[in-house]
Amino acid sequence: MPNRGPMPGTPGSPPGAQGSGPKKDMTERRTLVVGRGISVQGVVQDAERLVVEGTVEATMIHATELSVAPGGVFRGEIEVEDAELAGTVDGTLTARGNLTIRASGRLIGTAKCRRLQVEDGGQVTGRLEMITDQARPSSQPAGEQAQASRPAPSPIAAIDPAHTATP
């Protein structure tokens, strides 16, 4: 029997051999799913959507969307538009848009986001910084740095015997 090429709808079939419905949606957003029980270490490139159900350890990932499922763990540094955490992120997360921490979600480390939503039970441990509008990019951070560099009055010094005069 002669080889007539791939069947329509199978991998390797010519463009247009199948409908543009579901196939087009899957190719529009490049998604990497790390399933339960799977560990990935290293560099992830060109993933627009990262779904973590297992464990991912990476140095720096740029993506559009991060979703960490319950039981999933992401360790490292990631920069995304939107993130939804029902599992754990341990490291540095920058969400230029929304950061949603579900009731089972945990964020350990440093996070920057424009909008934050934490469900009852969600946990944040570490440093959280809100991204503000870029209308005043040079004046806002300088003001924050100036405030941070000034020593704050210490209520402990007033009650600490080492800092009080003896009669």
pLDDT tens digits along 138-162: 444 444 444 444 444 434 333 444 4
Q: State how far the Cα of 132 lies from the Cα of 142, in Å rounded to an integer.
A: 14
**Rg of the Cα atoms in the chain:** 24
Amino acid at 113: C
pTM over 0.75: no
pLDDT, tens digit, 9 for 90 and up, residues 82-123: 999 999 999 999 999 999 999 999 999 999 999 999 999 999
**Average pLDDT for 124-145:** 68
Residue 26 contacts by C-beta under 8 Å, 6 or more apart in sequence? none
